[in-house]
Amino acid sequence: MKQRSKEFSLRTLKVVTAMPQTTEAKVIAHQIAKSGTSVGANYRAACRARSTKEFIAKLGTVLEETDETAFWLEIIIEANILPANRIKTLLTEADELCAIFYKTIESARNK
């Protein structure tokens, strides 16, 4: 998951690079760059947690950032900022990662 979350962050940056230089695209690019890159960074931090409680809290942040990134990807598609076919696979990855992080949090809570 470390590599997968890192690759997600890198792919998010590629979307940022492809964004047009319009005012709305710049605002969204800034937001998605922050949320998308924090997925990989915060997942690494979660892996270094010193307790189950800390792991759950840090992974909660990862889930939030992944979901926020999915939101911005949806906005990019719905606002026709980039073609949907350039974004769909990354959005699918965001949805899959959200599901994985959610289940991991649930499993850690049930320990």
CATH number at residue 48: 1.20.1440.60
pLDDT at residue 68 in the model? 98
Give CA–CA dist 107/65, Å, rounded: 20
In the Cβ-directed half-sphere of 92, how many Cα atoms lie within 13 Å? 6
Domain span at residue 46?
Answer: 2-14+22-109
pLDDT at residue 1 in the model? 94
Number of domains, the chain: 1
3-state secondary structure of 42: helix
pLDDT at residue 72 in the model? 98
Whether the pTM exceeds 0.85: the reply is yes
Average pLDDT over residues 78-104: 97
